[in-house]
Amino acid sequence: MINPVAILYEVVLRRDVMRSPIPLKHILLVLDEIDLLNDPRGLEQFRRFVQWCHELNIDTISAYISVIRAGMKKEEQGAARDRLSRELQDVLRDLTATLTIYGARTGAEAVATEATTYFHESSTNGRQIIISLGFTGRSELTNAARELAEQVKAGKLEPDEINEQLIESELLFKSEPDLVIRSGSTHLMDFLIWQSVYTEFYFTDMNWVNFRKIDLLRAVRDFQLRERRFGR
């Protein structure tokens, strides 16, 4: 049965969020693979989340999906990555956005840096969906350090020339998220650890398959009410 009070509250909350002068352009969602694969509603919920973000003019949606659980073998992790890649492509297929998936292939850690990009429409309106299947921030920084070390070894770069800008140029993920949402847990992964230094974090104990548009609106409003200091 539809609750008219809940509907009215959602309408008012959305109005307040859309009136705010504080822009929110990039959301990072942190999930576990069981959130998406253990319940048939999980993947469809991800699709709805992306659509809700687009309705709020949030053009970049990133997601870190952990594929590591206690006792899980590497072959099982690889199988989970491959299954997630296939099913996410399918459930997001008709959205107007560019979808990039990292870590979709099995094998050594270095393979996880490869990405597959899918252009779902000829015009994406600048919308991006960026998904990391278990490729962590530590791995990203390690790869950046290796690349810079190779440049030093080849004589293309002096050690004292290495600075923040050079490190950032070697990172796979260039965009800094405004807000990180972690649903159903207080455990946060290390994805985008460099890029999220000034990011705001929002934790909710709401189980992922029960996450509602109103929960997203609350997270966005909470972000808008915070005083962002950017390290100052």
Global pTM? 0.80
What does the alpha-carbon distance between residue 185 and residue 179 come to, in Å, rounded to a whole number? 16
pLDDT: which is higher, 212 or 126: 212
Give the type of residue at 97.
Answer: A
Residue carrying structure tokens 């004292």: 160
Residue carrying structure tokens 């539809």: 2
Tens of pLDDT, residue by residue over 146-196, are: 888 998 998 888 888 888 888 888 777 777 889 999 876 656 666 677 767
Highest mean pLDDT among 46-50, 133-137, 202-206: 46-50
Domains and CATH numbers, the chain: 23-136+175-225 (3.40.1180.10)
